């Protein structure tokens, strides 16, 4: 296994009997020197380990790992997973279009050797096919990375007024501003409702600093909880999980909340809409619409029976569609390893 991570995580991985090696990466940076260092770090590692199969996920490991494999003779079979399009492939101005053009070319080159390319939702696959990055015949859709149903068991809903929770890195594209706006609107109508936010700052260009977040109009309606290693106590303390994201591959936090038996309110966006059957385990709202989000959340405040029923449906849907054991078997089978 190779990944950029901290010493404590490495120790936990190696305790499982898995050999590990780190490599250089700047997750959100755009400095070509950093990306070149990532390429050479991965190339050296692949050359030394000489794996039979490589499974890569997230943008930079997929691109630079694929390019590193292309540069080696007799290299491993390659199976990348696309976990979202990222900001580089989203609509934008002239600078964004130029970046998109570069990223598309890099993806095309990196995926040349891939036997199968895994996607977490059909919209992302369609985007890659339309840009002629990879042909449909080499694509396979899976239900995200799955969720460990045992690690995230159903927990009873807490007593007291309704608590909403959002877990995300502090990025505008996660719908932070819409969450703050909705919280402010609902709090004016129902002061007893609580809105919580859990997650770290992000150094990317789309990141929001905590001080800036607190300066937004209505931000006092949201309680910022910082970041943590284990989200389970926070899921246990909420009634409804909220993620107003603009786009996702398949949001892990939503799957974890579903497994814990929580109603979900998220956007009708790629990756998000696949998690919710509207009116059954949650609600879908338009992207970038804080007022519509407020209406959806406000409608659940006075309906604890509906919230409980949706939570039960969430768990059932997690068991049926998003069990990590089932998804892992599907991945292994596709790669010819199971």
Q: What pLDDT is recorded for position 238?
A: 98
CB 125 within 8 A of CB 263: no
Contacts of 187 (CB under 8 A, 6+ apart): 193, 195, 221
Which CATH architecture is the domain 7-141 placed in? 3-Layer(aba) Sandwich (3.40)
Q: Which pair of structure tokens corresponds to residue 326?
A: 């089932």
Q: What pLDDT is recorded for position 204?
A: 84
Tell me the C-alpha distance between 128 and 10, whole Å.
33
Burial of 189 (0-12, 13-18, 19+ CB in 10 A): exposed
In this prediction the pTM is: 0.91
Q: Quick one: which of 145, 148, 183 has its CA closest to 271?
A: 145
Helix axis angle for 176-189 and 290-301, nearest 10°, is 40
Quote the distance between the C-alpha of residue 4 and its chain's center: 17
Q: What pLDDT is recorded for position 23?
A: 81
Tell me the C-alpha distance between 327 and 143, whole Å.
7
CB 272 within 8 A of CB 243: yes
Q: Kindly list the distances between the CA atom of residue 119 and the CA atoms of 122, 168, 208, in Å, as whole numbers in the listed order.
A: 7, 21, 28
Q: Average pLDDT for consecutive 10-residue bins of the chain (338 residues)? A: 72 84 74 89 92 93 94 89 77 72 94 96 94 96 96 97 97 96 97 97 90 92 95 98 96 97 97 96 98 98 95 98 97 92
Domain with CATH 3.40.50.2000 in the chain: 7-141, 163-321
Burial of 328 (0-12, 13-18, 19+ CB in 10 A): middle
Q: Which pair of structure tokens corresponds to residue 26?
A: 């700047």
CATH code at 163-321: 3.40.50.2000
């Amino acid at each position: 296994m190779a990944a950029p991570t901290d010493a404590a995580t490495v120790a936990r991985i190696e305790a499982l009997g898995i050999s590990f090696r780190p490599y250089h990466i700047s997750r959100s940076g755009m400095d070509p020197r950093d990306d070149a260092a990532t390429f050479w770090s991965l190339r050296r590692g692949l050359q030394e380990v000489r794996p039979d199969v490589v499974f890569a996920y997230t943008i930079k490991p997929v691109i630079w790992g694929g390019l590193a494999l292309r540069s080696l003779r007799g290299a491993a079979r390659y199976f990348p997973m696309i976990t979202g399009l990222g900001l580089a492939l989203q609509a934008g101005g002239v600078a964004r279009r130029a970046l998109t053009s570069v990223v598309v070319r890099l993806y095309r080159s990196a995926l040349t050797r891939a036997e199968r390319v895994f996607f977490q939702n059909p919209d992302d696959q369609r985007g890659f096919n339309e840009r002629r990055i990879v042909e449909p015949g080499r694509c396979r859709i899976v239900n995200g990375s799955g969720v460990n149903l045992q690690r995230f068991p159903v927990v009873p809903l807490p007593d007291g007024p309704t608590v909403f929770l959002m877990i995300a890195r502090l990025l505008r594209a996660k719908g932070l501003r819409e969450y703050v706006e909705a919280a402010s609107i609902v709090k004016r109508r129902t002061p007893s409702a609580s809105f919580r936010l859990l997650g770290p700052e992000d150094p990317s260009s789309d990141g929001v600093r905590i001080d800036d977040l607190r300066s937004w109009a209505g931000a006092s309606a949201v309680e910022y909880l910082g970041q943590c290693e284990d989200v389970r106590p926070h899921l246990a303390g909420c009634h409804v999980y909220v993620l107003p994201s603009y786009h996702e591959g398949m949001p892990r936090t939503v799957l974890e909340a579903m497994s814990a038996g929580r109603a979900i309110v998220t956007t009708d966006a790629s990756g998000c809409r696949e998690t919710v059957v509207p009116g059954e385990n949650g609600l879908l709202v338009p992207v970038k619409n804080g007022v519509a989000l407020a209406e959806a959340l406000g409608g659940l405040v006075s309906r604890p029976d509906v919230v409980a029923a949706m939570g039960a449906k969430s768990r059932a849907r997690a068991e049926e569609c998003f069990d990590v054991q089932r998804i892992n078997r599907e991945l292994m089978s596709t790669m010819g390893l199971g």
